[in-house]
Structure 1
Amino acid sequence: MLCIAGSAILSFGLYNIHALSGVTEGGILGMTLLLNHWLHLSPAVSGFLMNAACYILGWRMLGRSFVYYSIVAGGGFSLFYAVFEQFPPIWPQLADMPLTAALVGAVFVGVGCGLCVRAGGAPGGDDALAMVVSKAVGCDIRWAYLASDLIVLALSLSYLDFKRIALSLLTVLLSGQIIGLLQKNGLARITRRREMSREGRE
């Protein structure tokens, strides 16, 4: 249920807010745009390959349940996005308010992805990569998100103006913090339940 709710919130935010703001993304989405600009490589191809690689890494390091939850999250995202596309954007005026769109969009992305990650799945390759890096390095998932986003945004300066990059950085910083907070609270509850269960058995 967390994955389904998260994918619905994420797709709603991307369609009704991010798609109107003209703000780019970090991670895999930003990299597909970069490769398309400089190498004329279709995002459909590059995105599929990079997402597949991240999911394979996630499966190897995070286990079989990760794949199941990711299928629910990714499938739910595609389904909900297709539904939202049947209707006009709710706030078309956000196209003229990029700063507001960046802030509000970050909340939808952060909460949507955060719920999916908290459940143990990843709606996109970016999320899978952040979960893998977080586990492999032992760092907070917020820093894993930030590192990948900063690298892509820095490279994107080669073809985008500083204002759009600054707004994108604001978006990824805020959404990454929200995702990290949701995941951290979820892990804390799981840990407490395991400790209570262990004490009960003893």
Structure 2
Amino acid sequence: MLKKIVILGFGSTMIGIGVNGFILPFHLINGGFFGISLLANYLWGLKVGLTFIFLNIPVYIYAFKYEPDYFVNGLAGALVSGFMLDFLIPLNGRIHLPILSSIIIGAVVIGFGVGFMLRNHISPGGMDLLALLMAKKTKVNVGVICLAIDAVIITTGLLLLKDARLLYSLGIVSIIGLFACVITTVRKVEK
């Protein structure tokens, strides 16, 4: 139990640092519910973490009924990640890097946090669970579903905000996905 708490705290903190320190200052977005939460912040000034938590509610209600084990870990991950997103908001504007450096570092930090959590069977939010549930019903690869959802979120952001810098968000999504994939597939060292 203590190990899960440490993993949850560490992974959520990495996500909060990556989003607030590197993504928010350039008004970029991430994929999944994080991306939708950032869009809501840019458009209406809503709190990123609180919006993230509310977006997760329907997915976790569904998971509670059909995937109870995943529900418990996922709910804890969504709540702590959402809290850390709002708690670490003071980092916004504190780190001054060129946009490409910020994208790369931010995406690696977020990817590390997400990958670390997923490797230990903790979900940082509902989009991965939503994609998994969709994949079970449609027989489409879960990775393809995640990429398609992220592309729709980023395209929506481009259309609503009319800011070409959001194209950088495609790089963010790609780096996070790659980094999280590497972390979750590397074999654990046997003791």
Q: Is the 8 A contact 2:108 2:179 kept in 1?
A: yes
Q: Is the 8 A contact 1:74 1:124 kept in 2?
A: yes
Question: What CA distance in whole angstroms lies between the structure 1 residues aligned with 2:61 and 2:86?
Answer: 26
Give me the identity figure in percent. 20
Q: What code does the residue aligned with 1:21 have?
A: F
Question: What CA distance in whole angstroms lies between the structure 1 residues aligned with 2:183 and 2:62?
Answer: 22
The CA RMSD over aligned residues, in Å, is: 3.5
1:123 aligns with 2:124: yes
Counterpart residue number, 1:181:
182
Unmatched segments (≥5 aa) in structure 1: 190-202
1:23 aligns with 2:28: yes
Tell me the alpha carbon deviations over residues 115-152 of structure 1, each in whole angstroms, 9 at most, x when there is no partner. Answer: 22222222222233234345555565443321110011
Tell me the alpha carbon deviations over residues 53-81 of structure 1, each in whole angstroms, 9 at most, x when there is no partner. Answer: 222333344x2221221233233324544
Q: What code does the residue aligned with 2:165 have?
A: R
Question: What CA distance in whole angstroms lies between the structure 1 residues aligned with 2:92 and 2:12?
Answer: 18
Counterpart residue number, 1:132:
133
2:12 to 4, 7, 11: 7
Question: What CA distance in whole angstroms lies between the structure 2 residues aligned with 1:76 and 1:16?
Answer: 18
SS of the residue aligned with 1:93?
A: coil
Counterpart residue number, 1:72:
76
1:52 aligns with 2:57: yes
Question: What CA distance in whole angstroms lies between the structure 2 residues aligned with 1:128 and 1:59?
Answer: 11
Counterpart residue number, 1:92:
95
How far apart are residue 93 of structure 1 and its match?
A: 0.8
How far apart are residue 7 of structure 1 and its match?
A: 1.4
SS of the residue aligned with 2:61?
A: helix
Question: What CA distance in whole angstroms lies between the structure 1 residues aligned with 2:101 and 2:182?
Answer: 22
> Aligned in 2, Cα 1:156/1:140: closer, same or farther, shift over 3 Å?
same
SS of the residue aligned with 1:167?
A: helix
Q: Is the 8 A contact 1:140 1:180 kept in 2?
A: no
Q: What code does the residue aligned with 1:69 have?
A: N
Question: What CA distance in whole angstroms lies between the structure 1 residues aligned with 2:158 and 2:122?
Answer: 31
Tell me the alpha carbon deviations over residues 83-141 of structure 1, each in whole angstroms, 9 at most, x when there is no partner. Answer: 545x65695213xx222111111111111112222222222222332343455555654
Q: What code does the residue aligned with 2:79 have?
A: G
How far apart are residue 158 of structure 1 and its match?
A: 1.5
SS of the residue aligned with 2:149?
A: helix
TM-score by length of 2: 0.73
Question: When the two structures are aligned, how many residues end up with a matched partner?
Answer: 182
Question: What CA distance in whole angstroms lies between the structure 2 residues aligned with 1:73 and 1:127?
Answer: 12
> Aligned in 2, Cα 1:137/1:7: closer, same or farther, shift over 3 Å?
farther
> Aligned in 2, Cα 1:152/1:165: closer, same or farther, shift over 3 Å?
same
Question: What CA distance in whole angstroms lies between the structure 2 residues aligned with 1:83 and 1:35?
Answer: 15
Q: Is the 8 A contact 2:110 2:176 kept in 1?
A: yes
> Aligned in 2, Cα 1:112/1:140: closer, same or farther, shift over 3 Å?
farther
